[in-house]
Structure 1
Amino acid sequence: MVAFGKKLKERQIQEWQGYYINYKLMKKKVKQYAYQIEIGALERRQVLKDFSKMLDNQIEKIVLFLLEQQGLLASRIAKLGEQQESLSEEPDISKMSELRESYRAVGRDLLQLLFFVEMNAIGLRKILKKFDKRFGYRFTDYYVKTRANHPYSQLQQVFKHVGLGAVVGAISRNLGDLQDRQGSYLSIYDQPALPLQDSVVDSIKAAVDRMGHSTNFLHFLAQHALIMQEELPTPTEEHADDDRYHFMSLLLNLVNTFLYMVNTYIIVPTADDYSLSLGAAATVCGIVIGAMAVAQIFASVYFSAWSNKSYFKPLVFSSIVLIVGNTMYALAYDLNSIAVLLVGRLFCGLGSARAVNRRYISDCVPLKTRMQASAGFVSASALGMACGPALAGLLQTNFKIYKLTFNQDTLPGWVMSIAWLIYLIWLWISFKEPSRDIEEKHVHQGDNADQEQSEAIEKGLAQPLLLGSQDNQQDEDADQECDGSEEAPEDSRLPATSIASAYRLLTPSVKVQLLIYFMLKYAMEILLSESSVITTYYFSWSTSAVAIFLACLGLTVLPVNIVVGTYISNMFEDRQILLASEIMVCVGILLSFHIIIPYSVPQYVFSGLITFVFAEVLEGVNLSLLSRVMSSRLSRGTYNGGLLSTEAGTIARVIADATITMAGYLGDSRLLNTTLLPSLVICIASIIATCCTYNSLY
């Protein structure tokens, strides 16, 4: 993988090169500061003062150039406006065509300026993250708070592209006015925004939205998948190798995602009854449900590693294991064995191929359709989550064929076994294994980089201060770059090779985001897994009633994401939505406690809805922020950000299900409050942690 500094230089507009952030210089200064502090030549206060001044100078250079270019663009638009005014009196088709092309030329230059601003904003975020990595993660908080909130903020010019909106509006309006067909509208301000006037305006709008993190429904939904996009903007869209992309293979990955989520939640309404029928306590349902998640912790790692070599084989293995697991789950009733039931669920967890599904989208789907594929991944998960309980509610029957019993407890196992068998046949016939030529090329490049770097070190080209201490050396491995020369190869840019190396890349901001993800998955699992026991004890709900309740919760996922992705995320910053959602999840948990007697259905349904809905909102925003604050080394490879978030969520589910079973020993009357208490504590802890790292989420 190419180093950020080198990639930044390659994508710079050559005539503007002197006005970009000097990322390489500032990176060297960070290392020099670390060395000087270590030997006692500088104090931290001096470092903060000196680096702040350097950043201020860099930002001022960028902003003054930006203002100069805005002025030039405004001047060109003003002159074109005068020509347009004269043409309105004496229309000339050829001159109007020339005028339109002139506006487009201004638009293309504006697009270059937007890329200039965006690349500098990314560079600033990267250098702030690097500084925090070395000096305790306090500088970004201080710098953003003092600079971004100042009335004369130059930082806002870079991060919020202040002033460019007027230029965008002028070009859009004038190009709109020059369209051959205006319909009944007077200007762009009077007509709907969706049919944009010109392809140049389309590109400009996309760039502005990306800089401001504006989202639509698809974009917001795709963020849930935590599938990395290109880090730096490019004037021309880059595509993945289309030879590696096969629509039917993508569809099979999405169907796998859907079926696995159905498989996960189809047993939730009946797990307590099944446990009772086998002579165990109803709260053993926590272990039954959680056994799948326990196995998934290990499955996620080996499937992620396996997907480095193949996509087809792990999907086949997943399907076979799931057929076996679901068959064992169904047979446990006639064998009267809770052990067979649990082993069956463990097998189902070992068949979790979500890491493969995610990796296929990340590695094989072209950039132009990756967002839609990511949104499809999340939609398939949400639909499976809703369909699982709904399907369980429909399987209310009881009959025997020979010695096999088919009832509401065993039918989920039999139905899923048949579904996975059909899927396996479809997979075998239709899946196309993508070419590995590109990935092998990257591996060879990585090997060459290792060899070249070894030679460079032998020749004494490495910086002396890199050898100052073992901690500094590890920091450099985590922070990616060797500064001996601009062309220095960097094996430290390769993906993390172990859980330990991935953990070393986690900054406090990333750790907080993973804690939040853990919290929301824990709260959701407590709500869903104990729903059958709680509603039976307090309200005497039937299996069908529980299934309807859980299905309705699942059906809220897509509408909630439509509202948040289309409107709320464009009105507020992600970090504001994050904190507000955490508080609302906390409110939902508080409302769920059994304090007022009697415990009512409206209280349970309302509090559960608040907890679930805002946990869903929180998930999208949390993963969006996580993708921005996470090291780029975690974007690919076995131990990627998607795997880390999956592991955090899966561990949360395991602990939640174990909590339900352990709390069951206190009796059903104490189950609700006992299980909600850890949720409340973790939620409050995540809110405090978010407040502590709030300004680093910029």
Structure 2
Amino acid sequence: MVAFGKKLRESQIQEWQGYYINYKLMKKKVNRYKQQIDVRTQNPLNVLMDFSRLLDCQIEKIVLFLLEQQGLLANKLSNLRDHHHALLQQPDGSRISELQEAYRAVGRDLLRLLFFVEMNAIGLRKILKKFDKRFGYKFTDYYVKTRANHPYSQLLQVFKHVGFGAVVGTISRNLADLQDLQRHQGNYISIYDQPDLSHPDPVIDSIRSAVDRFSNSTNYLHFLGRHAFIMEEELPTQSEDDSIDNRYHSMSLLLNLVNTFLYMVNTYIIVPTADTYSMSLGAAATVCGVVIGSMAVAQVFSSVYFSAWSNKSYLRPLVFSSIVLLVGNTLYALAYDLNSISVLLIGRLFCGLGSARAVNRRYISDCVPLKLRMKASAGFVSTSALGMACGPAIASLLQMNFKIYKVTFNEDTLPGWLMALAWLVYLMWLWISFREPPRETKENLVPQETDAAGPLVNVAVENSFTQPLLMKSEAKQQDEDGDGECDDAEEDSGEIHKPVTSIVAAYRLLTPSIKVQLFVYFMLKYAMEILLAESSVITGYYFIWTTSSVAIFLACLGLTVLPINIIVGNYISNMFEERQVLLASEIMVCIGILLSFHVFIPYSVPQYVGSALITFVSAEVLEGVNLSLLSRVMSSRLSRGTYNGGLLSTEAGTLARVIADGTITLTGYLGESKLLNMTLAPALFICISSIVATCFTYNSLY
């Protein structure tokens, strides 16, 4: 991987070089502050104030230039408006084409400006992270709290698309008008009357994509895709994306998504019947916690070796996963006739050892082109949610009891037999249709300036535009002052984006903000597992629900995932900051848990269903914003390799499920009457702790 500082310099537009954040100078300042504090020649408070002033000056330089360029764009559009009005009176085909090209030229200028702002925003985030890393979690909290919340905040000008919307709207509307003028010989149809004309030109789509990405604006697809937590490089390169195009195979992607779906079905299809199956083998009903959780226990280990295996192959780990799951489900089904709780648990352990979700994530990250990656990520999450809903729903249909020879088929064993058959069919399909992508060494890729918005940035930011961020005159002056020892190689040596090679190295990259977000992820998975895993026992004890009733209830919970994400992705996440949604969701999870307790009054179905719905829906919303924020604050070194951010989040979530399922079984020894409150108490404590921790790191989530 190429160092961030080098990528940032190579992405610079030459004629604007004096207006970029002086990232190299600020890195030197941070290093010098560290040295001065170590030898106690500088007061930490003075360092804080001095660096704040330096950062203020850098931001002011960026903002004033930004306002100047926006004024120039507005002036160009104002001049074009006069020509536009004249054409409406006397349409001329050749002049219409010229005017369209003039508007496109303004659009390309705007795209360059957006790219300029985005590079500076990334540089600001990186330098804030670097300062916190060197001096501990202090500065970002102070700086964001004092600058971002001020009524005259210049920091918001850099991080928000202030003023861009009006320019985009003007260009879009006028290009649509000119296109309509050509098609209908002067009959006026506004984009406000026909919204399908709102995107008449590729340059508009590129601008809108750049604005959305830069401002973290989102829609349903993007918000849903964030649940997959497929981390990307902050500055992707065109050559990397070209190599991914060569590795992409649509059928292989489909097989990865089918694997995701089947695994989630496999996880939840046994939840409605785990308690009755345990009792039929002579165990207590609450042993269902161990039965369900044993799969998660094995997944703690399988996530690591599958992640490592995917560095070398995708087909072989998927084949191995299918075989292990086939064996595991067969053992799970045979446990009934063998009358062995041990065989039952071994079968579920095998199922956990076959968890290839790490491979599914890595395939999307490494082999799906950037233009399709968000859709693939959303597909990964959608198939997971669908599998979660289908698992209990399928279980509700398996209400039958018969024997073939000495093998029993009933509501307890049929989930195992059905999943064994499904994995056998999938294994044959996988062997026939999956194509192993060619491996390429990413270190040999030559970076070129690009932007996720599309090829138009390559037109706007050409090779001839790239120059170092630090002006040559500034560099020369600093060398004269004795600061020249920090050359590019030295200053970037600590930031080479090599994947971490151990869990210890990955842990060292975890800042307080990252640790808190991983804790939040642990909390929401713990709360969801408590709710789902003990549902059959709780509803059976309080309401005498049948297996079918429990299955339908769980299926309905699973079906809320996609509608809720549509609402949050299209509306809520665009109305509020992600950190605001994060904190509000945590509070709602806490409220849902509080409402679930059985205190004094008789426990009723409306109370249980209502509190479960609040908890589950809030946790789903929380998962999306939590993983989005986590990807933003997490080091880019954790975007690739075995010990990546996806593995860390998976381990945190899986560990939460293991502890939650263990809590259910241990609490079961106190009796089913105490199960509900005793399992909710730790969930409430963890939830309150996560809210407090989020408040302490709130201003670093920017």
1:453-476 deviation line (CA, Å, top 9, x unaligned): xxxxxxxxxxxxxxxxxxxxxxxx
8 Å contact kept, 2:27–2:127: yes
| Within-5 A mapping of 1:421-570 | 421-439=424-442, 441=444, 483-485=487-489, 492-570=496-574
Alignment: residue pair count: 660
Equivalent-residue separation in structure 1 for 2:407 and 2:211 (angstroms): 62
Taking the aligned partners of 1:387 and 1:91, their CA distance within structure 2 comes to 58
Superposed displacement of residue 442, structure 1: 6.8
CA 1:116 to 1:235, structure 2 compared with 1: closer, same or farther past 3 Å?
farther
Task: State the match for 2:133 in structure 1.
Answer: 133
Structure 2 residue aligned with 1:337? 340
2:351 to 348, 351, 373: 348
3-state secondary structure, aligned to 1:178: helix
Counterpart residue identity of residue 154, structure 2: Q
- Paired residue for 2:612? 608
Residue type matched to 2:627 in 1? Answer: L
Report what 2:678 is aligned to: 674
Alpha carbons 1:590, 1:680 under 8 Å: kept: yes
1:193–1:23 Cα change, 3 Å:
farther
Can you give the 5+ residue segments of structure 2 that lack an aligned partner in the other structure?
Answer: 447-485
Report the 3-state secondary structure (helix = DSSP H, G, I; strand = E; otherwise coil) of the residue aligned with 2:313.
coil
**Other-structure match for 1:475:** none
**Structure 1 pair 392/135, CA: closer, same or farther in 2 (3 Å)?**
same
Q: How does 1:620-635 map to 2 (within 5 A)?
A: 620-635=624-639
Does residue 653 of the first structure (1) align with residue 688 of the second (2)? no
Q: Does 1:266 align with 2:269?
A: yes
What SS does the corresponding residue of 2:230 show, helix, strand or coil? coil
Is structure 2 residue 320 aligned with structure 1 residue 317? yes
User: Secondary structure of 1:400's match?
Assistant: strand
Question: In structure 2, what is the Cα distance between the partners aligned to 1:195 and 1:173?
Answer: 7
Deviations 1:600-619 (A, max 9, x none): 01110111011001100110
Indicate the SS of the match to 2:408: strand
Preserved contact between residue 521 and residue 653 of structure 1 (Cα < 8 Å): yes
Whether the aligned pair in 2 keeps the contact of 1:304 and 1:639 (CA below 8 Å) is: yes
Give the corresponding residue for 2:163: 163
* 1:488-540 CA distance string (max 9 Å, x none): 66684201111111011111111111111000000000000000000000000
Q: Is it true that 1:582 corresponds to 2:586 in the alignment?
A: yes
| Alignment-derived partner of residue 286 in structure 2 | 283
Deviates more, 1:228-237 or 1:44-53: 228-237
Supply the distance in 2 between the matched residues of 1:241 and 1:206 (Cα, whole angstroms). Answer: 21
After superposition, residues 9-28 of structure 1 pair within 5 angstroms as: 9-28=9-28
Provide the secondary structure at the position in 1 that maps to 2:669: helix
Amino acid at match of 1:608: A
**Are residue 196 (structure 1) and residue 202 (structure 2) matched?**
no
Question: How well do the aligned residues superpose, as a CA RMSD in angstroms?
Answer: 1.9
Give runs of aligned pairs for residues 109-128 of structure 1, distance below 5 A: 109-128=109-128
Distance 1:36 1:290 in 2: 52
Q: Report the Cα distance in structure 1 between the residues aligned to 2:579 and 2:44, rounded to whole angstroms.
A: 29
Alignment-derived partner of residue 378 in structure 1 = 381
1:57 Cα shift? 0.9
Distance 1:82 1:687 in 2: 56
Residue number in structure 1 paired with 2:47: 47
Report the Cα distance in structure 1 between the residues aligned to 2:180 and 2:536, rounded to whole angstroms: 63
Structure 1 residues 525-577: Cα deviation after superposition (integer angstroms, max 9, x where no partner): 00000000000000000000000000111111111111111111111111111
> Quick one: which amino acid aligns to residue 433 of structure 2?
S
- Partner of 1:179, secondary structure, is helix
User: Equivalent residues in 2 for 1:349-364 (5 A)?
Assistant: 349-364=352-367
- 1:251 corresponds to 2:254: yes
Checking the alignment, whether the CA contact within 8 Å between 2:399 and 2:410 is kept in structure 1 is yes
In 2, Cα distance between equivalents of 1:102 and 1:235: 27
What residue ranges of structure 1 are gaps of 5+ in the alignment?
444-481
What TM-score does the superposition give when structure 1 sets the normalisation length?
Answer: 0.92
Q: What is the alpha-carbon distance in structure 2 between the residues aligned to residue 275 and residue 359 of structure 1?
A: 36
Q: Deviation string for 1:157-197 (max 9, x for gaps)?
A: 11113222222222223223222358887533444267413
Deviations 1:398-422 (A, max 9, x none): 1111211111111111111111111
> Taking structure 1 as reference, are residues 294 and 233 closer, same or farther at Cα in structure 2, changes over 3 Å only?
closer
Counterpart residue type for residue 576 of structure 2: F
Secondary structure at the aligned position of 2:95 is classed as: helix
- The one-letter amino acid of 2:160's match is K
Q: Which amino acid aligns with 1:655?
A: I
What is the aligned partner in structure 2 of residue 76 from structure 1? Answer: 76
Equivalent-residue separation in structure 2 for 1:243 and 1:237 (angstroms): 10
Q: Which residue type is aligned with residue 235 of structure 2? A: L
2:214 pairs with 197, 211, 215, which one? 211
Q: Which amino acid aligns with 1:153?
A: S
- More displaced stretch, 204-213 vs 38-47: 204-213
Q: Which residue of 2 aligns with 1:460?
A: none
- What's the CA shift string for 1:250-299, capped at 9, x where partnerless? 11111111111111111100000011011111000000000000000000
- How many angstroms apart in 1 are the aligned matches of 2:574 and 2:197? 16
The letter of the residue matching 2:75 is S
Helix, strand or coil: the match of 1:272? helix
Provide Cα deviations, 1:311-363, integer angstroms capped at 9, x if missing partner.
11111111111111111111111111111111111111000000001000000
After TM superposition, give the deviation of residue 98 of structure 1 in Å.
Answer: 0.8
User: 1:413 corresponds to which residue?
Assistant: 416
* Alpha-carbon contact 2:585-2:622 (below 8 Å) kept: yes
Deviations 1:627-649 (A, max 9, x none): 11110001010000000000000
SS at match of 1:613: helix
Given that residues 115 and 233 in structure 1 are in contact (C-alpha distance below 8 angstroms), is that contact kept between their aligned partners in structure 2? no
Look up the match of 1:639. 643
Match of 2:450 in 1: none
Q: Call closer, same or farther: CA 1:438–1:588 in 2, change over 3 Å.
A: same
Taking structure 1 as reference, are residues 573 and 126 closer, same or farther at Cα in structure 2, changes over 3 Å only?
A: same
- Deviation (angstroms), 1:438: 3.7
Indicate if the aligned counterparts of 1:266 and 1:412 stay in contact, CA closer than 8 A: yes
Which residue does 1:91 correspond to in 2? 91
Q: CA deviation at 1:243?
A: 2.1
> What is the rounded CA distance, in whole Å, between the counterparts of 1:442 and 1:113 in structure 2?
27
What is the identity percentage for the equivalent residue pairs of Structure 1 and Structure 2? 77
Cα distance between partner residues in 2 of 1:587 and 1:612:
11
2:640 alignment partner AA: R
Task: Tell me which residue corresponds to 1:471.
Answer: none
What is the Cα deviation at residue 483 of structure 1?
Answer: 5.0
Report the equivalent of 2:464.
none
Q: Assess if the C-alpha contact under 8 Å between 1:11 and 1:234 holds in 2.
A: no
Question: Once the 2 structures are TM-superposed, how far is the Cα of residue 309 of structure 1 from its aligned partner?
Answer: 0.5
The normalised TM-score by structure 2 is 0.91
Q: Structure 1 residue 40: deviation in Å?
A: 0.3
- The structure-2 alpha-carbon separation of the partners of 1:6 and 1:99, relative to structure 1 and needing over 3 Å to count, comes to same
Question: CA–CA distance in 2 between the matches of 1:438 and 1:89?
Answer: 59
Q: Which residue of 1 aligns with 2:696?
A: 692
Q: Which whole-Å CA distance do the structure 1 matches of 2:353 and 2:525 have between them?
A: 20
Quick check: 2:176–2:197 contact (8 Å CA) kept in 1? Answer: no
Q: Which residue of 1 aligns with 2:462?
A: none
Report matched runs for 1:215-230 at 5 Å.
215-230=218-233
Q: Is the 8 A contact 1:117 1:161 kept in 2?
A: no
Aligned letter for 2:540?
T
Say whether the 8 Å CA contact 2:240–2:442 is kept in structure 1.
Answer: no
Cα gap change, 1:439 to 1:111, in 2 (>3 Å): closer
Letter in 1 for 2:8: L
Greater shift after overlay, 263-272 or 62-71? 62-71
Shift of 1:89: 3.2
Check conservation: 1:659, 1:675, Cα contact below 8 A: yes
- Which residue of structure 2 lines up, in the alignment, with residue 468 of structure 1? none
Which string of whole-angstrom CA distances, capped at 9 and with x for unpartnered residues, describes residues 63-121 of structure 1? 11111111211111111112223333333221122111111101100110011011101
Letter in 2 for 1:65: F
Aligned to 2:272, the other structure's residue is in SS state: coil
Aligned to 2:307, which of 301, 304, 325? 304
Q: Deviations over 1:142-163 (max 9, x none)?
A: 1111111222211111111322
